[in-house]
Amino acid sequence: RGAILEQDSNDLLPPSLKINYPEEGSITNKFSVLLKVMAEDDNYISFFSINNAFYPLELSAKIASLEKEVSLKQGANIFMVKASDLTGKTSEKALKIIADREGPVIIIDSTQTKGKKISVTGFLSDYTKITSFRINGRDVPFAQQTAGNSKEEGMSVEAEFHQDVDLPEGENTIVLEAQDAAENITTGELRVNARTKDSRLKGLTLIASILPGVSGIIPQQYAFAEGLLGKIMDNTPPVV
């Protein structure tokens, strides 16, 4: 049938191929995604392929579609999607999907009490993009910038922040919450006694040594990270 069509057809163009879902560069925290593609050709679509895995059609058609669940690894995922007609002409498109299943890292660089306020300074790091940062439920402005590492290698964005927080007399709980573009959230508490000026941390993973993409020890800093499942890895204070 393909040979007959090739002899009789004046159609010299490859199939029209469209990826309907997801969008190029999509960011997700899921382990898989449903890929939806569609192709059209006067010489009938015969098969699709995704990263060299072939999906032939039971019945060739001028307009054909494919829905396929594909697995995602952490980081950048590249899918090469092809559609071929009965005469062998092929179209190909690349689709990039970014999987981010790790919450942002919050690093508190310093805290300083000033009367009835405490000044909290630090920065945030994330694999994709930090979309919000709150302290005690209030949005905190931050200057987001791209770090030196690529998205395939490690953390790709950093954001500095500085915020003064009211500090009433007695024991205070300061709640920090950061969210990224994949909707992963890191949350935790900084507890401060306004009378003794003592501060301690609860509910966050404490990292006292090496962060992803960072070389060496980070002295006198508290680093916190909480993944999608909210697993707390360590609650011991850092050794300074």
Q: Which tokens belong to 197?
A: 């000026």
pLDDT for position 84: 96
pLDDT for position 148: 54
- Using CA of residue 218, residue 149, residue 75, residue 131, what is the dihedral sign? positive
pLDDT for position 46: 95
Cα angle, residue 72 at apex, residues 66 and 75 outer, rounded to 5°: 135
Largest interatomic CA distance in the chain: 90
Residue 92 CA to residue 99 CA, distance in Å, equals 23
Residue 178 CA to residue 133 CA, distance in Å, equals 4
Q: Of 41, 43, 54, which is closest to residue 15 (Cα–Cα)?
A: 41
Measured CA to CA in angstroms, residue 137 lies from 19, 120, 177, 178, 183 at distances of 39, 15, 8, 11, 17
- Mean pLDDT of each 10-residue bin along the chain, 240 residues long: 55 90 95 97 94 94 96 95 94 95 85 84 88 94 68 65 88 87 85 64 35 33 39 33
Q: Which residues have C-beta within 8 Å of that of residue 235, sequence separation ≥ 6?
A: 202, 206
